[in-house]
Structure 1
Amino acid sequence: MGRNDEQSGSRKGALRENQAETVREPREDSDRLDELIGHTLRERRTALSLTLSELSESSGVSNAMLSRIETGQVSPSLSTLVRITRVLGLSLSELFLDYESPEGGALHVEAGQGLEVVRTGTSRGHTYHLLSYERGPKQSFEAFLVSMDDESEVFPRFKHPGVEFLYMIRGEMQYRHGQNLYHVKPGDALTFDGTVMHGPETLLRIPIRFISIIEYASGEEAE
């Protein structure tokens, strides 16, 4: 084979590689992988304070191709990734660390948007806002923001399955659990057995705000 034929073959090979990197499949797992690779490479390059031009010069991958890779627009070939990761000091395995991790789906309740719920015996000036709960037919926990603004209110006693954790945010109160009274101030926390009668006894300083988290043991039902 002559020199011109070799050069022509090299150009065709490079062209085929470039085409392989720019052809997109329908959006599916491969696209998520491309986006993940691009994000990881961009974060590493930024952490090293490298510009695209500097990375291009060191890796031999064009600026335009690097930009498309970082934005997840192409599926880079293995040889291209090797050249880039070598400059960035990354191993190929590091590019795929998070690929199999669960997609996630946190329950986000914005400030003031918790669902207001009614509990037996509560009245005006005593509100519960549901902040978090476990999706599904059975609840393993519930979290509430409790607000109390009426110091003359007579408070009910509660009794429920599970363990309750209370964290005081604002105000002061006496809180009863069974035969014991606790003076609870901002920053204080109480943890107690929910099957024992409990509830606010006296509001010492209003307004009062506290977080209440109830954890139910397996098989117990939230009331």
Structure 2
Amino acid sequence: MDHATDVLQDVAPQLRALRRRRGLTLEGAAQRAGLSPAHLSRLETGNRQPSLPMLLSLSRIYGTTVSELLGETPPERDPIVRAGRSEPVEADGWIYRQAGGAGRAMQCLRVHIPFATSTDIVRVHPGEEWIHVLEGRVRLALGDAVHVLDPGDSAHYDSLTPHRVGAATQAGAELLFVHTLIQSPAAELCLGNGTPHSR
């Protein structure tokens, strides 16, 4: 516990240095992070310990990662993802294959999605999403607007906008999907709705 407290204390001067390096005032950074200037000031002086969501928000604003804020040195990662090493995982008809490395700020997947139904769940959560259609047609609902995407079409949107993704063709559709959430297992993705299991 003492070590964790020491690590969080070490974050305080780093937060101030990163804000200044980005040329942001205390008020400007606090507004972007949804904090009061007084609260951010206490974080920067070590008088208040940041929560993980606060660290995530501030790291994005300052163009860094939570790991770097905490002074962690990430292990060397293999940048190549080989097709044969990606085991498909299924959840509620959605089939996921990892298309990016683990432990990154973005999660990249190749996904087969089933034909859209009226029971498809509308999702709302922090982050951004990007989809690119490889095969079939995709119906993307963003707020009140509905878009049909053909192979080669892409969409990039703020995932705080209520959204729903489904195939517009009976055989389903294949797409590339990238999102900027905290790393999470397939069960926590905004695709599908069931418990994931290996195929």
Q: TM-score range by the shorter chain?
A: 0.3 to 0.5
Q: Which has the higher contact order (CA 8 A, sep 6+)?
A: 2
